[in-house]
C-alpha cells in the first residue's frame, strides 16, 4: 500500500502532466497545431499565408490596410502619388507645380514676396537699383546716392558741415583766424588762438606782476 508521501508525489506528477499539452502521442513538432500560425498565439510557423501569432497577423493586416500600393497599383513614376498634383504625397512635377502641397504653398508665398520675376528681373536699369528716394535703391540718380535713409543722413551731415564748394575752409576763411570765436586758431590783430586761448592768455597776463610799462629789469643794463 502506497505511503502518504508517495500519494502526494503521484498527485503532483499528474498535475504537471495536465499542464503539458504535449504527450507521446501528440508531441510538439512541425506538424503540431501549435507550430502553425493558424490564428492562435502559439503558432509562429506559416499556414495558408498567415505568418506568426494572432497578434503578428493582426499587425500585418493593419499595415496592409495602411499600404496604398499593391500588385495592381505599384508605386512608380506614373503613380498619382509620384506626381505633385496638390496633395501631400507627390514630390515629382506636374503642370509646373513642384513638390507636395506644402512645398507648393511655401513656394507661392515666397514668390509673392519676391518683387522680381522672369519678365522683370533685377538689373542695373531696374528702378530699385536707382536711388530715386526709396529705401531699395543703392545706385546714383540726380546726385542722390544710396537709399532714402542714406540720402537723409547725407543731407543732415552736410547741414552740420559749415564748408561747401563755394565757401571752402582755407587760410582766408574766418574760422582760420583768431577773431575772438572758438573756431579760429590762427592770428589776427595780435590775438592768438581761439576765444578760450585768448581769455586764458589775458588772465595769465593780468596775474603777471610785470607788463609793458613795468618790465622785469634787464640785468645787462644795470
Rounded to two decimals, what is the model's pTM?
0.26
Q: What is the mean pLDDT of residues 3-25?
A: 74
For residue 92, tell me if it sits in a domain: yes
Q: What is the reported pLDDT for 130?
A: 81
For residue 155, tell me if it sits in a domain: yes
- 100 pLDDT above the threshold of 70: yes
Number of domains in the chain: 3
- 139 pLDDT above the threshold of 60: yes
What residues make up the domain containing 94? 84-112
For residue 108, tell me if it sits in a domain: yes
- 3-state DSSP call for residue 192? strand
Q: What is the reported pLDDT for 41?
A: 72
- 38 pLDDT above the threshold of 60: yes
Give, in order, the Cα–Cα distances in Å from 189 to each of 172, 179, 193, 200: 14, 8, 11, 17
For residue 120, tell me if it sits in a domain: no
Q: What is the reported pLDDT for 186?
A: 61
Same domain, yes or no: 153 and 177:
no
- 170 pLDDT above the threshold of 80: yes
- 3-state DSSP call for residue 185? coil
Which three cell numbers mark 213? 610799462
Same domain, yes or no: 156 and 179:
no
For residue 32, tell me if it sits in a domain: no
Q: What is the reported pLDDT for 191?
A: 61
∠ at Cα 165 (134, 176), nearest 5°? 125
For residue 22, tell me if it sits in a domain: no
For residue 58, tell me if it sits in a domain: no
Percentages of the chain per state (helix, strand, coil), in multiples of 5 = 35, 10, 55
- 222 pLDDT above the threshold of 60: no
For residue 99, tell me if it sits in a domain: yes
Query: Among 92-106, 110-124, 133-147, whose mean pLDDT is lowest?
Result: 92-106
Which of 43-52, 151-160, 183-192, 201-210 shows the highest mean pLDDT?
A: 151-160
Amino acid at each position: 500500500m502506497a505511503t502518504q508521501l508517495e500519494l502526494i508525489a503521484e498527485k503532483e506528477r499528474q498535475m504537471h502532466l495536465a499542464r503539458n499539452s504535449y504527450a507521446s502521442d501528440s508531441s510538439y513538432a512541425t506538424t503540431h497545431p501549435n507550430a502553425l500560425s493558424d490564428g492562435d498565439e502559439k503558432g509562429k510557423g506559416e499556414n495558408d499565408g498567415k505568418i506568426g501569432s494572432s497578434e503578428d497577423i493582426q499587425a500585418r493586416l493593419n499595415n496592409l490596410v495602411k499600404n496604398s500600393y499593391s500588385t495592381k497599383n505599384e508605386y512608380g513614376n506614373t503613380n498619382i502619388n509620384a506626381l505633385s498634383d496638390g496633395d501631400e504625397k507627390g514630390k515629382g512635377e506636374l503642370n509646373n507645380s513642384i513638390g507636395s502641397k506644402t512645398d507648393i504653398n511655401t513656394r507661392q508665398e515666397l514668390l509673392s514676396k519676391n518683387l522680381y520675376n522672369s519678365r522683370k528681373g533685377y538689373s542695373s536699369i531696374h528702378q530699385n537699383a536707382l536711388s530715386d528716394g526709396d529705401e531699395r535703391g543703392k545706385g546714383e540718380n540726380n546726385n542722390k546716392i544710396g537709399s532714402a535713409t542714406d540720402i537723409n543722413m547725407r543731407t543732415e551731415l552736410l547741414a552740420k558741415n559749415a564748408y561747401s564748394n563755394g565757401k571752402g575752409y582755407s587760410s582766408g576763411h574766418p574760422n582760420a583766424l583768431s577773431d575772438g570765436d572758438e573756431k579760429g586758431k590762427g592770428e589776427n590783430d595780435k590775438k592768438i588762438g581761439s576765444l578760450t586761448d585768448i581769455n586764458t592768455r589775458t588772465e595769465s597776463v593780468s596775474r603777471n606782476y610785470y607788463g609793458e610799462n613795468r618790465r622785469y629789469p634787464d640785468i645787462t643794463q644795470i
